[in-house]
Structure 1
């Protein structure tokens, strides 16, 4: 890249579940990122803006209303006030999925399975962030740098982690026993935060993250869908969302080549 201006990408993050390790915490935590070339931002934004106008015209879904997928599928307010049928909700989810599939972006999903560790000192959020940024860094391969924007609420530990892996980022060596240090070098600036209600792209992370959560429950845990979700969609619907994103090449499958959707699951 010498003599050339390096491209810049923008990465957005959001999560499903909580990063606690108490008896009242969720039993897994998912951190989803999506990233795109800066020059694709406007056209991606426009695709979502057009979709939101169409959903307003067709179903009355207010353009400025945040899409919070868990609340949408469990009929929490403000969505309950719309009195949508099950079929309408399915149509809205399909429309979101197909719009994401048309965007120029890539997605990484990291799952921390809290049933797999006994140590209550395990840093759930910090490890999820580290594993996710490592995948974006690997994909950049020194060809572009990237800026990270996350939903509000967890900025202090995320910034601390991002700063730390700029200096020390141990990776399992492919050739020698033990680890080698591969500091993160292509991330620019500190992680920045933005309210999810003001960002289509954080809302997309939330959307994908929640469907990965549902897929993890039904396919990996072999559990039932949450009851209220199960009144709107079934297992096949969840799988179709995942397949659509995969076939549209939106999922970074290199994030974990042993998983058909590239899902990164820790601890191993």
Structure 2
């Protein structure tokens, strides 16, 4: 069985929204590796404590950390140290025996006022996780979703629906193919991100993909506190550090495997 952790960046509202894009990230691995990976993360956090005095149990919320907002404001991190910490995190994540799928919804090119942002992102994400599991050769493999509790109700509605009826667009322009999700078990289970290193890591990936998407989709600029200090090249450097853990087959038309929908 696989355990899959979800987190997002941006808001999933449409047609009213506060962010022009929405990113949903999923981090997953075999359940038998949970303890090993968790201990690897704890050891890495201890190293951060020794090097930067970053508390082992303090939640890493990447957006607030990079923007130098509470609770990080008075911890003595200048912009150079903040970017270094994120780089170290990315390198570490890229070294783990995990897989990550990223779905980016570009609201600027949505044409239907009834477009459901979260439903679309989650459907694409689950399809790609199931494809990666390869049920043909591993028919008994299942996966379980754990997510920050803010969107559990909406996610539950989607996961129940696509296990009953799920259509996949044809690559060749034919009618959509019916491919119901078979490997997902249980409803998404809630977990407070403060209590989960895995959700915090997923949050970091989602925010980096969000920053990448802002420029990739020409959806504005970085937040004002970042645009003087962060370049497009640095974002790509972070993604390249993450690359060994990214599911690149999730979107073969993107160098980092980021599935961008709708297509412009």
Q: Distance in 1 between matches of 2:109 and 2:219?
A: 16
Q: In structure 2, what is the equivalent of residue 74 of structure 1?
A: 67
* CA distance 1:121–1:176, shift in 2 (3 Å): closer
Where in structure 2 are the equivalents of 1:86-165 lying within 5 Å? 86-142=79-135, 143=138, 144-165=141-162
Where in structure 2 are the equivalents of 1:175-186 lying within 5 Å? 177-186=174-183
Question: How far did 1:22 drift?
Answer: 4.3
Q: Distance in 1 between matches of 2:228 and 2:196?
A: 29
Question: How far did 1:139 drift?
Answer: 0.6
Give CA deviations for 1:152-179 in whole Å, capped at 9, x if unaligned: 1111110111011001010123568211
TM-score by length of 1: 0.92
**Does the 8 Å CA contact 1:225/1:234 hold for their aligned counterparts?**
no
Q: In structure 1, what is the equivalent of residue 208 of structure 2?
A: 211
Name which of 252, 260, 267 aligns with 2:255.
Answer: 260
Give CA deviations for 1:73-110 in whole Å, capped at 9, x if unaligned: 11110000202122211221122111111111011000
Give CA deviations for 1:101-123 in whole Å, capped at 9, x if unaligned: 11110110001111111322211
Q: In structure 2, what is the equivalent of residue 36 of structure 1?
A: 29
Unaligned runs of 5+ in 1: 1-7
Matched, 1:229 2:226: yes
**Is the partner of 1:76 in helix, strand or coil?**
coil
The CA RMSD over aligned residues, in Å, is 1.6
Q: Distance in 1 between matches of 2:86 and 2:117?
A: 29
**Does the 8 Å CA contact 1:90/1:232 hold for their aligned counterparts?**
no
Q: Distance in 1 between matches of 2:79 and 2:178?
A: 50
Task: Compare 79-88 and 26-35 and name the one that shifted more.
Answer: 79-88
**Is the partner of 2:225 in helix, strand or coil?**
helix
* CA distance 1:128–1:42, shift in 2 (3 Å): same
Q: Distance in 1 between matches of 2:149 and 2:113?
A: 25
Name which of 229, 235, 240 aligns with 2:237.
Answer: 240
Q: In structure 2, what is the equivalent of residue 195 of structure 1?
A: 192
* CA distance 1:132–1:60, shift in 2 (3 Å): same
Question: How far did 1:23 drift?
Answer: 4.3
**Is the partner of 1:190 in helix, strand or coil?**
coil
**Does the 8 Å CA contact 2:26/2:100 hold for their aligned counterparts?**
yes
Q: Distance in 2 between matches of 1:199 and 1:69?
A: 14
**Is the partner of 1:10 in helix, strand or coil?**
strand
